[in-house]
Amino acid sequence: MERIELGDAEIIRVTEWQGSFAPAVRIVPGLAESAWHRAGADHYDPVDGSYLGALQTWVVRTGGRTVVVDTGVGDDRERPATPMFHHRKGRFLDLLAEAGIRPEDVDTVVNTHLHADHVGWNTRRHDGRWVPTFPNAVYHLPAADLAFFDPAAHQDAAHTTADPAADPARRAEWDQVFTDSIAPVLSAGQAAPWSGTRTIGPGLVLEQAPGHTPGSSVLRLSSGGRRAVFVGDLLHSPVQLAHPACNSCFCLDRAQAAASRLRILHQAADQGELVIPAHFAGPGAAHVERTGSGFAPRWTRWTR
């Protein structure tokens, strides 16, 4: 298990999956394939042109808290529009156990946003029902995403760049995600919707960074004079550090997503924050420095 110490905090990386996901030029439209050749072997396969990524969860131990940041894809899901996630079975709970974490030890769950690959292990199947995986945790859910993805609020989606009403298969999958991964947390009384900024523990602050989804957010961590920022899907690949105006194909409001990315990266460069995205393969996290038009990573080193 990979881990780093940051001040008095510990960050543990739990990788649900890592590998080749899709053609790179499809993941970040608007970016020439030549830009990917500079991404490095951890992030781009020059043989078949595929994007290399990861599905991972970050566990933070700080100030007596055990915080899970994003909960991956989950097991046994109906995701027919996303074959890689459909009926997937993984070793997530075993990996958590190997890191010394039992579900009942987790007191805080953060979903940076409510896409399928960030909320899956919010719940697990128990006696034929979906129940919260972490029975003692408060789940911090962005209120804007709760409103947007609630199946009862379809008509509110029309303002997005990629109008989901035009893609019934995707809308149906969002409804399914809400039903199996969000609604059980709401009905268990464990959800804490939030907006604006919210302090959720010592040195732990949630902040909105919308665009990828309406409620997309980052979690800032500070401990012992060190800082990190968990940025969710603000970035899918380090090519977006060099080209920070370029969005992933999953970003719903492109102008807003690019503005949020630039704002968070400039702050990370100014404050020396370790940037921790959800889907970077390879070293997974980096400090960033300005390089004229973009940013360059200084990759972090993990201990095992």
Closer to Zn ion by CB, 117 or 173: give it. Answer: 117
Q: Within 10 A of 185 (CB to CB), how many other CB atoms are there?
A: 25
Closer to Zn ion by CB, 2 or 233: give it. Answer: 233
Closer to Zn ion by CB, 117 or 273: give it. Answer: 117
Closer to Zn ion by CB, 116 or 288: give it. Answer: 116
Minimum distance, C-beta of residue 226 to Zn ion, in the bound complex (Å): 26
Minimum distance, C-beta of residue 118 to Zn ion, in the bound complex (Å): 6
Which amino acid does the sequence have at 59? V
Q: Single out the residue of 233, 260, 265, 295 in contact with Zn ion (rule: CB under 5 A).
A: 233
Residues 130-169 that bind Zn ion (CB under 5 A): none
Q: How many CA atoms lie within 13 A of 162 on its CB side?
A: 19
Which region, judged by CB under 5 A, interacts with Zn ion, from 137-145, 229-237, 256-264, 285-293? Answer: 229-237
Minimum distance, C-beta of residue 233 to Zn ion, in the bound complex (Å): 4
Which region, judged by CB under 5 A, interacts with Zn ion, from 86-94, 171-179, 226-234, 255-263? Answer: 226-234
- What value, to the nearest 5°, has the Cα angle with vertex 54 and ends 181 and 198? 55
Which amino acid does the sequence have at 258? A
What are residue 98's phi and psi, to 5 degrees?
Answer: -65, -25
Minimum distance, C-beta of residue 100 to Zn ion, in the bound complex (Å): 26
> What are all long-range contacts of 94-99, with beta carbons under 8 Å and residues at least 24 apart?
95/1, 95/14, 95/15, 95/16, 96/14, 96/59, 98/1, 99/1, 99/3, 99/12, 99/14, 99/59
- The number of residues that bind Zn ion (CB under 5 A) is 2
Minimum distance, C-beta of residue 265 to Zn ion, in the bound complex (Å): 18
Which region, judged by CB under 5 A, interacts with Zn ion, from 7-15, 37-45, 231-239, 260-268? Answer: 231-239
Decide: is 70 part of the binding site for Zn ion (CB under 5 A): no
Burial class (CB in 10 A: 0-12, 13-18, 19+), 94: exposed
Minimum distance, C-beta of residue 8 to Zn ion, in the bound complex (Å): 29
Cβ–Cβ < 8 Å for 278, 118: yes
**C-alpha span between 195 and 152 (Å, rounded):** 20
Closer to Zn ion by CB, 178 or 223: give it. Answer: 178
SS3 for 25-55 is HHHCCCCCHHHHCCCCCCCEECCCCEEEEEE
Residues 87-126 that bind Zn ion (CB under 5 A): 117
Strands 2-6 and 9-23: antiparallel
Closer to Zn ion by CB, 62 or 208: give it. Answer: 208
Closer to Zn ion by CB, 233 or 273: give it. Answer: 233
Binding site for Zn ion (CB under 5 A): 117, 233
